[in-house]
Amino acid sequence: MSSSLEKIILGIDTSCDDTSVAVVQGRRVLSNVISSQDEVHRAFGGVVPMLAKRAHETQFPIVLKKALQRAKVTPENIDCIAVTRGPGLAPALELGLQKAKELAQEWNKPITGINHLEGHLWSAVAETSTGSGGWKFKSADFPILGVIVSGGHTELYEITGVGQYTHLGGTVDDAFGEAFDKAARLLGLGYPGGAALADLAESGDSAAYSLPRPMRLTPDYNVSYSGLKTALVRLVEEVSQKNQRLLTETEIRNLAASFQAAATDTILNKVQKALKEHTYKHILLGGGGAANKQLRKKLRIIAKNYSSELHVPNKNSLLRDNAAMIALAAALRLEKNIPLNAEMDRIPHWKLESPDENKL
């Protein structure tokens, strides 16, 4: 149970196309407000960095006000401000850092920069505002296998402590969520269509079409998604040309299910390899793509086979880009007496395992 003496942290994340401000106390999430920019970028079929920055600018004051109101706190109650320094889109990161610095000055509060990926990794430890839920890890639980599947990242890490990460592998091209979004676009499911594709796939036959699992047998923990996307493009052409007509609803469902099976197998093959070659009693799963039901279902089975326990956040709002996970990463650092990093320049390609830039 969290104590009321724990620090109250205001989190800010503007790393991509979601404007988010949150308030946490220790591991308890008091508020987590997210404003999506999907409408802004839809016409372009992808995120336009300068438009993202402008939308963050407009949304920030509204989101901040809501976050404070929902958490029932005033600026005086805030002990520290935690903001994402990277990785992310440079103009978008800049806006969040600028706002964080302005607030820190106005409210006279300390400020700390957080790696966005550290937030995604630990989101499963988040508790509700009343202190329920959330995985309560102990030092004996390390090393932990960390898996991030989001729109911009697909990464595997060995976690040996808070702030101690070794990169095992990741995507060499497209990210997991990005691949879902591209496949969804190809199947005419809109932008960003990852979640819509996954919904359709639920009622499709994943064995209807055969799609590749690229890099399945490579001796590393890396994955690739661009070959799968190309294979889907060819398959869609083949199916529609053969029948001399547009895809039917059933064909779209089956293509979605076959794609989802290949995309989830691709990352899970490497997760399984990591579990086979190391001993990880616990797995932390995070990122927007972790909302995928098939991925979770298959990962639970694999984890069980290796006597490992899977931990996922209790809310989908903690999976997608959000500021609660940023404040939470700062809270964990405080909990473990790790001095907070006060450097405030943006690092668009910040690697979580990078010892120099992550140095405290």
Q: Out of ligand KG4, Zn ion, none, which partner does residue 181 contact, by CB within 5 to 8 A per kind?
A: ligand KG4
Residue with tokens 């089956």: 254
Residue closest to 290 by CA, chosen among 269, 311, 261, 259: 311
- Closer residue to Zn ion in complex, CB, 118/321: 321
Q: What does the angle CA 216 – CA 352 – CA 103 come to, to the nearest 5 degrees?
A: 140
- Closer residue to ligand KG4 in complex, CB, 78/323: 323
Q: How far is the CB of 124 from Zn ion (least distance, A)?
A: 15
**Position among 118, 155, 251, 321 found at the interface with Zn ion (CB under 5 A):** 321
Q: How far is the CB of 24 from ligand KG4 (least distance, A)?
A: 18
Q: Out of ligand KG4, Zn ion, none, which partner does residue 148 contact, by CB within 5 to 8 A per kind?
A: none
144-173 footprint of Zn ion as x/- string (CB under 5 A): ------x-----------------------
Q: How far is the CB of 203 from ligand KG4 (least distance, A)?
A: 14
Can you tell me the distance from the alpha carbon of 139 to that of 145, in angstroms, rounded to the nearest whole number?
A: 14
Residue 43's DSSP bridge partners are: none
- Cβ neighbours for 298, distance < 8 A, ≥ 6 positions apart: 264, 265, 268
Q: Out of ligand KG4, Zn ion, none, which partner does residue 311 contact, by CB within 5 to 8 A per kind?
A: none
Please give the structure tokens belonging to residue 24: 């946490």
Can you tell me the distance from the alpha carbon of 187 to that of 183, in angstroms, rounded to the nearest whole number?
A: 6
Q: How far is the CB of 1 from ligand KG4 (least distance, A)?
A: 29
Looking at residue 235, its amino acid is: L
Q: Please tell me the number of Cα atoms within 13 Å of 119 on its side-chain side.
A: 36
The kind and range of the H/E element at 157 are strand 154-161
- Closer residue to ligand KG4 in complex, CB, 11/152: 152
Binding positions for ligand KG4, rule: CB under 6 A: 16, 150-152, 177-178, 180-181, 192, 194-195, 198, 287-289, 291-292, 320-321
Q: How far is the CB of 81 from Zn ion (least distance, A)?
A: 19
Q: Where are the alpha helices (DSSP H) in 278-323?
A: 293-305
- Interacting residues with Zn ion (CB under 5 A): 150, 321
